[in-house]
Each structure stands twice: as C-alpha cells, then as structure tokens.
Amino acid sequence: MGGEESSTASSSKPSLDDVLDDLTARFILNLPESEFESFERLFFTIEEAHWFYLDFYRDRDKTLPSLGLYEFASRLFRRVPFLHPYVNHLDRLFADFRAYKRAVPTAGVAILNETLDKVLLVCGWRRNSWGFPKGKLAKDEDHATAAVREALEETGFDVSAYIRRDAYADAVMSETACRIFAVPGVPERTAFCPQARKEISSVEWHSVAELARVYKRSAADPETKSEGRRIFGVRPYIRWLLRFIKAQRESKARVTGSVETSSPKLPRPQAEAAARTSTVAEPVLTLPSASNSAHRVDVAVPRRAPVAWVPPDTSDDPLRTFRLDARRFMRHLADMLA
C-alpha cells in the first residue's frame, strides 16, 4: 500500500515538459501583439517565466532541474512551436538581449533617516554587496515613477510622499544609466519588508559617515578595494549624497537659526585622488534652490552619456519573420479555441 501511494504521488508531479507548457500558456500565449515586435521584448517575458519557474515549481519539486536563464530559454525554444525554428540562433538572440537589457535605464532612491546621518541600503539575493533600491524602467515609465515602484518592491515602503523629484544624481555603471533620487526624512523605526521574492535578502540602515570612509579608503589604498566593492553601486553617489545632506542642514539652520552637526566630508586631496582613479562616471547633481526652483550643479562631466532606451532596428534582421510566425500562430490558436 505504502509503495503504491508513493508511486501515485510521484506520478502526480508534473514533468518538465508539462511545466514548460503551463509557463507558455501563462506568459507567452497571452502576450499582446506589441510584445512580439522583437526578440528582445520577448526575452523579458521569458525572464519572468524563468523567475516563476524557480519560485513556484523548482522550490516545491527538487526533482525538476535548476536552470539558468539561457538553459531555460533553450528548453522553451525547443518546446514552443513558433520558437522552435530559431533554436539555432539562440546564442545570438541571448547575447542581443543581454546587450539590450544593459541599455535600459534604471532608477532608484537614496532613503535617508530624519537626522540625515543614515541611508537605507539593500543586499541582493545570495550576494554580499549593498546598494540603493533600484531597478529598470518599464516601457513608457518616467524615472521618478520607476524609482517609487522599485523602492516599494525591494523595501515594502511607499516613498511617494518623501521623494524629492528635483534632487537626483545620474551615473553610468557597467554601461547602464542610473538615476538616484533623494528621499529624506524617513523614520528609522519604519518596518521594511521586500515584496519581490528571492530578489532582496536584507534591508538595513547604514551610516553615511562610514560609507564615506569606506569610499575614501578603497580609493586611496589598493588593499582595501575589496571593501569598496561591497558598496560598488553606492560609490558613484557618495559625494552627491554628502552635498545634498549639507545643503539640507544649511537650509534648516537658516530657517531655525540653529547650528547643525556638520556633515561627514571627504578630505579634498583624497577626494580629488579618488575622482581621478575612479572607473565609474561621477554623477551630475541637481538640488532645489532657495526659491524651490531646481538648478543644476555639475559635480563632474560623465564619461559616457546616459543610454537612451530605443527599440532596436530590425528592418535588416534575417529573423524579422519571427513576428509574422508568432502572429500566424496566435491567430491559428484563436481559431482553434473559437
């Protein structure tokens, strides 16, 4: 009896092909026609299907293989009828997607506590580096909206009432343009709980002064560069963050007549040396003026202009028939279900 029950339970588990069919129905067959305009757009959906596979299938059934995105896409291409003819082009298509993905701008937030001496950072899943809550812009989404959405997903906190849309810094890291907005005045007692599964492992407050010291040491001493790599995503914005904090405190002092504790600073010689040795483009600072109208202060000229997000030109692409094949398949499927 026990053997029969075990055999029945085992046979009730879906096979990998069954799972791929389910994911195809969930994610690909219901896509609007606009998502079949290019393989790059389609791969974003395949990536979502891959996350779903890992979170809701692989986690519950360890007999299913643990697949990386490329291997998952390869299995899917072999399984889906209108993708199968392009299996031999997968290496090129995947490389194009990776390049296209790097070109999509990102946006995030630097959440500061009420005393402006701590900043909230997140640690990625199975990583040991810290950075600002941030992510890629969705189609037709502006930077500030994307920053608010990503902060909510990665921290569980809605920053829309705190975000300073006129105070931000731009930088380019690993060929991806990123804009970080200042979000001052968030209480330290706030409970943070990431909404995205397996994306963020920890959310913690970090001392701004300590981050500045790590930045200075890692820039001046090669032996401490590993320490600096743990805040790689924060380093290009440290000087902007210090200037923003100083401006906020000076503004408050003018209004209240009180003397604020000085902001942490980088000694000028070390700061200049760090700027010369940095391999990451310095950000461009935007702060509000006394009259509340934004003015721009150039901290440094970026080495690379932000990459505009423009759909690739596929007019001379030998794979352009993919769109026609996909549409024919969708129409055929609709006729069968009618």
Per-residue pLDDT of the chain (338 residues; tens, 9 = 90+): 455 444 444 557 899 999 999 999 999 988 888 788 889 889 989 999 998 998 889 988 999 999 999 999 999 999 999 899 999 999 999 999 998 888 899 999 999 999 999 999 999 887 788 999 999 998 889 999 999 999 999 999 999 999 999 999 999 988 899 999 999 999 999 999 998 777 899 999 999 999 999 888 876 665 555 666 788 889 999 999 999 999 999 988 888 765 555 555 555 544 444 444 443 444 443 333 333 333 333 333 333 333 334 444 445 554 555 555 555 555 555 555 55
My answer on whether 41 and 130 are in the same domain is no
Q: For residue 317, what pLDDT is reported? A: 52
> Any idea what the CATH number is for the domain that residue 35 is in?
1.10.10.1050
pTM for the complete prediction? 0.67
Q: How far apart are CA 17 and CA 7, in angstroms?
A: 20
Q: For residue 256, what pLDDT is reported? A: 76
The pLDDT tens digits of the residues spanning 128-167 come to: 889 999 999 988 899 999 999 999 999 999 999 999 999 9
Q: For residue 306, what pLDDT is reported? A: 38
Which of 70, 101, 132 terminates a domain? The answer is: 101
Chain position carrying tokens 């980088």? 266
| Cβ–Cβ < 8 Å for 20, 49 | no
Q: For residue 13, what pLDDT is reported? A: 84
Q: CA 278, 280, 281: angle at the middle one, nearest 5?
A: 110
Q: For residue 40, what pLDDT is reported? A: 86
**Does any domain span residue 304?**
no
**Does any domain span residue 323?**
no
My answer on whether 92 and 111 are in the same domain is no
> Any idea what the CATH number is for the domain that residue 230 is in?
3.90.79.10
Q: CA 71, 77, 82: angle at the middle one, nearest 5?
A: 170
Which of 82, 101, 120 terminates a domain? The answer is: 101
My answer on whether 109 and 236 are in the same domain is yes
Task: Tell me the residue type at 273.
Answer: A
Would you call 92 helix, strand, or coil by DSSP?
Answer: helix
Please give, one letter per residue, the 3-state secondary structure of 256-300: HCCCCCCCCCCCHHHHHHHHHHCCCCCCEEEEECCCCCEEEECCC
My answer on whether 276 and 133 are in the same domain is yes
Q: CB pairs under 8 A, 24+ apart, for 265-272?
A: 265/212, 266/212, 266/215, 266/216, 266/238, 266/239, 266/242, 267/216, 270/216, 270/219, 270/220, 271/216, 271/239
- Helical (H) or strand (E) element with 284: strand 284-288
**Does any domain span residue 324?**
no
Q: How far apart are CA 242 and CA 246, in angstroms?
A: 6
DSSP at 274: H
**Does any domain span residue 48?**
yes
Would you call 164 helix, strand, or coil by DSSP?
Answer: strand
E-strand stretches of 78-222: 106-112, 118-124, 130-131, 134-136, 164-173, 176-183, 200-207
My answer on whether 12 and 155 are in the same domain is no
Number of helices and strands (H, E) in the chain? 11, 9
**Does any domain span residue 325?**
no
Per-residue buried b or exposed e for 16-26, using 16+ beta carbons within 10 Å of the residue's own CB: beebbeebbee
Q: Print the domain residue range for 235.
A: 104-297
Q: How far apart are CA 265 and CA 132, in angstroms?
A: 20
Q: For residue 290, what pLDDT is reported? A: 36
My answer on whether 108 and 86 are in the same domain is no
**Does any domain span residue 338?**
no
**Does any domain span residue 258?**
yes
My answer on whether 54 and 186 are in the same domain is no
**Does any domain span residue 309?**
no
Which of 101, 119, 151 terminates a domain? The answer is: 101
Total of domains in the chain: 2
> How far is Cα of residue 204 from the mean position of the Cα atoms in its chain?
18
